[in-house]
Every structure is written in C-alpha cells, then in structure tokens.
Amino acid sequence: MAQDLAMEAPGSRSRAEASPAGQAPARRRSRTWTPFAAPSSSQNFVLASAVWALIAGCWAALSYGGVVSSMFLPTPTAVFERAVAMIGDGSLLTHALSSVQVVMIGFALSSLVAVPVGLWMGTYAPVRAAIEPVVNFIRYLPVTSFVPLFILWIGIGLQQRVTVIVFGVFFQQLVMVADSARGIARDLVNAAYTLGTKRSEVVWHIVFPATLPAILDMLRVTAGWAWTYLVVAELVAASSGLGYISLRAMRGFQVDTIFLAVLTIGFLGLVTDLFFRLLRRKLAPWAM
Amino acid sequence: MGDVIEAPSVPRAGTVRPEAGRSAALSVSNVSLVYAGGRGREVVALDRVSLDVSPNEFCVIVGPSGCGKSSLLYLIAGLNEATSGQMAVNGVSVHEPGPDRGMVFQGYTLFPWLTVRQNIEYGPKRQGMSAAERSGIVDRYLAEIGLTQFAEHYPAMLSGGMRQRVAIARALANDPGVLLMDEPFGALDSQTRATMQKLLLRIWEQHKKTVLFVTHDIDEALLLGDRVVVMSARPGRIKAELSIALPRPRSMDLALEPDFIALKRRILDLLRDEIDEEH
Ligand SMILES: Nc1ncnc2c1ncn2[C@@H]1O[C@H](COP(=O)(O)OP(=O)(O)OP(=O)(O)O)[C@@H](O)[C@H]1O
Ligand SMILES: [Mg+2]
C-alpha cells in the first residue's frame, strides 16, 4: 500500500528524467495520513498520552491557577487526597462494587434475552411483525420519565436500578441485533441449505455466527449506555453506588468526591471496553 | 440474484412423477420465472425452459449475461420458486433445497467464521458423518485443491481463487448426486482454471455425478461438456442444444482439432446473434 503510493506514475517518471533536475529519487510518503493505515502501537500510545496530558494540564491550570473557584472545580491534589481517604476506609470499593453489581446484573439480563430474540426477529418475518412496532414505540420513550413509576412499583432497592438499566438498554439491543441478523448475505443461507442445513438450524448454525462480530460490537457500545442509566437510577433512588455518592457529595458541596466518582465510572468504562475488545478477538478471530 | 432466505414451501416428501423424464436425473419442464420488481420493473428471467439431463451427464449452459443462468440453477437447487412449470431430480419433484443438489455459487459464499477445513467439513458434519470419516474426506479434497497448508486459515486470509477452490471442495465433499456449478472458475487465473478443470473432470469420471455447469467460456464448455445448451436473453429461453461427441479423456490440445473449431464457431454464431439483437 505505502509502496504503491510512493511509486510515481510511469508518465511522470519519464518527464522527470527529461527535465534537467530529474535525478530526485521517488519521495516516500509518510504512512501517518494514509487512510486506514495499520496503526502503530508506539504512535498510538504517544497520541493518547498527549491528549490525556492536555486534559490534565487544563484541569491543573484552571484549578491551581485559581481561575475557577475550588468550590466548583477541585484541584487534582484534593481529588487524590479524597481518593486515598476513600480507598483507605474501603468506602470507594463498596460503592464501586455496588454499582458494578447492578450494571452487570442489568446488562447480562438484558443481553441474554435481547440476543436470541433479536436473532429470531431478524430471521423470521412473523416475529418481527409481531414485536417490532411495540419495540419501536418503547424505544423512543425517555427512560428517565419511567424512574418515578419504577420507584412506585418496585421501591428503591437493587431491583429498581436493574429495571432502569434493562429498560434503557434492552430495546436498543434488540433492534441492533435484529438489524444485523437481517443484513447477513442471503447466499450464506442458500449455501447452507444446499449443504443439508435444515430450516430450523439456520438461526443457530448460520445467522448467529455470521452476526457474532456485530453482536459483540453492539454489546461493547450498549455496555456504555448501561453505565449511563445506572447513574440515572442511582441519582434518583439508591443508598449506595457511585451515582449515589455523587449526589450526596453535591449536597455537601464536595466537588472532589463528585470528581472521584466520575473518574471511577470512567475508569470502569475503560475496563469494560477493553474486556469487550478482548472478547471479540477471542470469539470472532476471523473478523478483525 | 440471491435474496432468497426462505426455503420455499413446507418440507414434504417428494412426489414421484414418472411421466416427467423417466430416465432423466434432472428434468426441467416448461419452467418460467418472473421477478416481481414492483411497478413496471417485472423481469421475465426464464420463459418456458425445458431441459432434461441424463444420469452422469455433464451438461454445460452458456448464454449472454443476464439471460437467467443463475436463476435457473437457483430454481433447481430449490432456493427459489418457479412462477410456473415443474422440476424433478431423479423423478422426485423439487420443492425445497437439499444436499442431493450441491451448488457452487457465482459469488463467494464460504462461511467466514469457519476455517478452510471446517468449511469443507460442513456438509458431511450436517449429515452426521463421524469425525474420523470427515477428516479423511477433508484431507483428500485439501490435497486435490492444493490447499493442505491453508487448512487452518479463515476465508478472509485467502485470495479470490483460493476461496473458490475451497467452495468447490465444500460442494464436492458433500457428495451430491447433482452438482450445480455457476461459473465456478470465472475468477481463476488460466493455470489454476486448467488445474481445476482437470480436477473436476477426474472427479466426475470417478464418482459419476450429474453436472449442470454454467460458463462464459466456450473453450471450457467444449472441454467439459457432453452437451452444450445455449440460452438467449430476455426472456431467457433455450435457443439451441449441441451434443459434444469429442472423445474423452479430453485436454486443451483438442482446441486445434477441426471438430472442436467447428463446434466453437457454431456456438459463437449463436451467441453473436444474441448480442446483436441486444443492440
Ligand atoms: N433477485 C432478483 N430480483 C429481480 N430481478 C432479478 C433478480 N435476480 C436476477 N434478476 C434478473 O433476472 C435476470 C437473470 O438474472 P441471472 O442472475 O439469472 O442472470 P445470469 O444469466 O446468471 O447472468 P450472469 O451471466 O451475468 O451471471 C436479469 O435480467 C436480472 O436482472
Ligand atoms: Mg449468473
């Protein structure tokens, strides 16, 4: 690829030779801005670190420099001290675990149902005809508007937060899986039939593996949404969790704690993302 | 082509229709196919096509692009339903696809999530063959298509020609009675194409299969076929049938024989008329 680009067209070469200054060797183009060029891990690391450093630098300048009052923007030192304190007494871990538990239960419940139902929906027209209108109706309802109703029905326990996550994520997952399943190459199914696959086997033997890379990408994206809905649920009604400590900290004007909670959620999100990337590499090595 | 996900109609034991080509392995009678493309976009892809292929016959179809060759193969494979007419395989009428009719598709249809080995093994596995038996068959076909070293590769890592060779091996490994091949060698370079033609002839002679083979290449048609069927375009009809009595085993040396040249000229003339009519 890079070599192709670096080569000159035969026409321009002969013109260059004819010109008096025609000795210049073909200039090698840098790969950096070649569209879709293979990434280089050292370059990626430098670029990512630079952006992190820039954000941290702005934060430090604004807070240490006193541009923004420490009542609204904590200094990195304050957040660090808060982190040491809350890790020390174990409260950060307790709240983080509480949040992680809710996200995992809600996300797993939702995914375990959305993936098979989505595959059926994408494969069988009657299933789609039956549930698609309802799904599309619910999908556009703002989850937040249901939180009061859920509190009324379910209370403020674990079940309520899990319900909010499931409600927020499930219908989107369903539509994404169904669309991927519907989009697979029909000739894959046709080829499978001529090799003796029965109609009842098509979903499991063809549609599922053909859709697997898209399913794993979908899980990675919707895991992020699950965290969003978790915090929504915890802000309104919870007695533990990272969203809950943020809300409590707001009442006491402890911006350092809010920052710590937000940073922790961001960090857990990063770990989740990495997990799904590794999972995709493991489960779908054919589609890199 | 190829938006056919549903296997048409209910699974049902085929009805024996002895009146339709008693001795034919494959019989197509008066089959028409109209694609409903919506207002004013109907396409009559096939118009009352009739064709009988005898057991173990190698029948080749040639015709201009878009004349319905692929459509006809899809119908015989049971992947699409004819608008009218009947089809039967070994006297059993065709209602749904089945492993008795293997197909090599015009486009790439390898399963991307399976390795080369697993792709070839797919059919035998569906038929419940034991792992030991399967691996014997797979090894043999891997050797025949020259891809033993690529057994554990995924299709995405292969070249276009390599993928098509695997697709052919996948269809053959399932040992279908009727083999439907839709321009299987179209994407191959001339050396590989010649190797694959030889391989196909050898397998056909050894295993005695009924083959229906679509190609654009007249030399290929004459090298392989017992009979060449020439189709005309829009609506797709059978225009002429030529029986090819060249002695077997054949090789491309035949291309210089007067008989070969005479047949080639006739087919070219038939096709040229078609193309002239188009313009
Ligand atoms: N799914 C489809 N829907 C509507 N029309 C179709 C469809 N598939 C094929 N056709 C039409 O049917 C005709 C025959 O198509 P077909 O693919 O069978 O041709 P072919 O002989 O295989 O051509 P080629 O040699 O280019 O592969 C074409 O005119 C095409 O436009
Ligand atoms: Mg075709």
Model pTM?
0.83
Residues B168 and B145 sit within 8 Å (Cβ to Cβ): yes
The H-or-E segment that residue B62 falls in is strand B58-62
Residues 6+ apart with CB under 8 A from A232: A143, A144, A147, A164, A168, A243
Residue nearest to atom 3 of ligand 1 (CA): B35
d(CA A177, CA B151): 31
What are the pLDDT digits (tens) for B207-254?
888 999 999 899 999 999 999 999 988 788 999 999 998 888 888 888
Which site among A187, A211, A215 would you substitute to test the B interface, given the most B Cβ atoms closer than 10 Å to its Cβ? A187
The H-or-E segment that residue B93 falls in is strand B92-93
What are the pLDDT digits (tens) for B81-140?
999 999 999 888 998 999 999 999 998 899 999 999 999 999 999 999 999 999 999 999
What integer pLDDT is reported at residue A31 of this predicted model? 73
Please report, as a single letter, which amino acid is at residue A193: Y
d(CA A242, CA A235): 9
Residues B77 and B101 sit within 8 Å (Cβ to Cβ): yes
d(CA B86, CA B89): 10
Among candidate residues A99, A66, A39, A119, the one with its CA nearest the CA of residue A230: A99
d(CA B128, CA A119): 26
Q: What is the number of the ligand 1 atom nearest to the C-alpha of B69?
A: 21
Residues B250 and B201 sit within 8 Å (Cβ to Cβ): yes
CB neighbourhood size of B28 (10 A): 26
* DSSP-derived secondary structure letter, A240: S
Which long-range contacts does B253-258 make (Cβ < 8 Å, 24+ apart)?
Answer: B254/B222, B254/B223, B255/B219
B168 touches A at CB < 8 Å: no
Cα B161–chain centre separation = 17
3-state secondary structure of B227: strand
What integer pLDDT is reported at residue B278 of this predicted model? 57
Domain boundaries, chain A: 41-73, 76-287
Domain boundaries, chain B: 3-15+22-100+176-278
Which tokens is B244 given? 């090819």
What integer pLDDT is reported at residue B10 of this predicted model? 36
What are the pLDDT digits (tens) for B14-49?
344 444 445 688 999 999 999 987 777 888 889 999
d(CA B115, CA B110): 9
B107–A187 C-beta distance less than 8 A? yes
Q: How high does pLDDT run on average in chain A?
A: 87
CATH tag, A76-287: 1.10.3720.10
What integer pLDDT is reported at residue B213 of this predicted model? 97
- The alpha carbon of B121 and the centre of ligand 2 are apart by a number of angstroms equal to 26
Asked whether residue A179 carries a pLDDT value surpassing 70, the answer given is yes
* DSSP-derived secondary structure letter, A247: H
Which tokens is A110 given? 């939702």
B171 touches A at CB < 8 Å: yes
Peptide bond into B249 cis (omega under 30): yes
Query: ipTM of this predicted complex?
Result: 0.87
What integer pLDDT is reported at residue A288 of this predicted model? 73
A193–B174 C-beta distance less than 8 A? no
CATH tag, B3-15+22-100+176-278: 3.40.50.300
Among candidate residues B83, B44, B42, B73, the one with its CA nearest the CA of residue B234: B44
From the number of C-beta atoms within 10 Å of its C-beta (0-12, 13-18, 19+), residue B84 rates as: exposed
Task: Provide residues of A within 8 Å CB-CB of chain B.
Answer: 123, 185-197, 199, 201, 206, 209-210, 212, 284-287
d(CA B105, CA B73): 9
Asked whether residue A25 carries a pLDDT value surpassing 70, the answer given is no
What integer pLDDT is reported at residue B276 of this predicted model? 65
- Give A201's contacts in chain B (Cβ within 8 Å): 126
- The alpha carbon of B37 and the centre of ligand 1 are apart by a number of angstroms equal to 12
What are the pLDDT digits (tens) for A252-274?
888 899 999 999 999 999 999 99
CB neighbourhood size of A27 (10 A): 8
Peptide bond into B155 cis (omega under 30): no
d(CA B9, CA A279): 40
B5 touches A at CB < 8 Å: yes
What are the pLDDT digits (tens) for A182-211?
999 999 999 999 999 999 999 999 999 999
Beta strands in B208-256 (DSSP E): 210-214, 227-232, 237-243
